[in-house]
Amino acid sequence: MTIDAAEELDFDTDYGPLNPQRDLPLTFRWRSDPTAIAALGLAPARNSRHEDARNAVLTEAKLAYERSCWVSFSRRPKWYVGRHRYYGHSYGYKPILNAVADSVSAGLLEEDRASPRTRGRQSRFRATPRLCALLGRAPIRSRLYEVIWLRDDRRRLVNYADTALTRCLRKEIEAINSIMAEIEVNLAGPDVQRVGSYWIVSGTHLLPAAPRVRRVFNRGSFDKGGRLYGWWQSLSSADRRLSCSTANQSSNQTTRRFIPRSSTRLRAFHLSAMPMRPASFHAMGQEGVQHRDQRKKQARSNRSCFRGAEDQ
């Protein structure tokens, strides 16, 4: 099953130049501290999915408010079918609509509903000043539900059945991310601004998050692509030099030693390659040469991704 590209989960959705005319999609990738959500005075959640959806909706509303934007979402039940792999189990019709309704009733959100007969436009919500005053300084954290992504020919995310191969690929990336989670990244420089929760670097909005990667395959096949992606790749090479990394430790001595040790641990990883097609084994065949060159290009790209993380 393909996921509609209108709100496709992508790391670029929360980054990019400020554009007040464009609504931000509900990505379900950001959460506030649960104690801060509990302090808002809302009625008890019906279940854990409702509680998590409420947190995601309110957090992303606050983040969009800091960019003078609305957050778009769908009121169609069919929209939420088959999206759990990339968005999580709380991403559902009832949890999200109940979360929006609760927040509107409490004066925390303002909703702008699209007519059911309207094409090309979704309903949307935005935070009220009251929500931002109550939630403004609460820390946020990111969530990444799936680290192995599969896209079709139109770059839309595709659901897939897990196999021994996908489980192996996922285990590799999760091991890499567990090391990267220990690194705290900060940006500093004359061209870096901090506005609310965001860093603004050369017009690009970034949210503080630990460096993590996912592996993306294309054209509906795990034989195509497989490149690693991290959020820091949205920065130019010049802006990437503004970043610095520290361990989540109080000791300066520990901090100085952490980054080289982490880099060594990352370089020890070797990602699984996809099975080659039979023609690839014919060394003199043109198709085999092209396939070999594609593998080399992919390997160079993945090494570049790791170097970007180490440079931070």
CA 117, 118, 120, 123: dihedral to nearest 10 degrees? -110
Find where tokens 């959500």 sit: 37
Kindly write down the DSSP assignment for every residue of 39-79, as one continuous string. TT-PPPPSSHHHHHHHHHHHHHHHHHHTTT--EEE---GGG
- Alpha carbon of residue 233 to chain centroid: 13
* Average pLDDT of the chain to the nearest whole number: 78
Q: What is the per-residue pLDDT across 35-75, written as a single tens digit (0 to 9) for each?
A: 999 999 999 999 999 999 999 999 999 999 999 999 999 99
Residue 304 has pLDDT above 80, yes or no: no
Q: Which positions ≥6 away from 96 have C-beta within 8 Å?
A: 26, 53, 57, 73, 80
End-to-end CA distance of the chain: 37
Q: Given pLDDT bands bounded at 50, 70 and 90, which one contains residue 243?
A: low
- Using only C-alpha atoms, what is the Rg of the chain? 21
Q: What is the CATH number of domain 5-141?
A: 1.10.10
Round to whole Å and give the CA distance between 278 and 60. Answer: 47
CA atoms of 253 and 98, how far apart (whole Å): 49
Give 157-208 pLDDT, tens digit per residue.
999 999 999 999 999 999 999 888 877 777 777 778 888 888 888 777 888 7
Taking CA atoms, 1 is separated from 79, 85, 161, 283, 309, in Å, by: 12, 11, 11, 37, 33
Given CA atoms 305, 309, 310, 312 in this order, what sign does their dihedral have?
positive
What pTM was computed for the model?
0.75
Domain-wise residue ranges, the chain? 5-141, 147-311
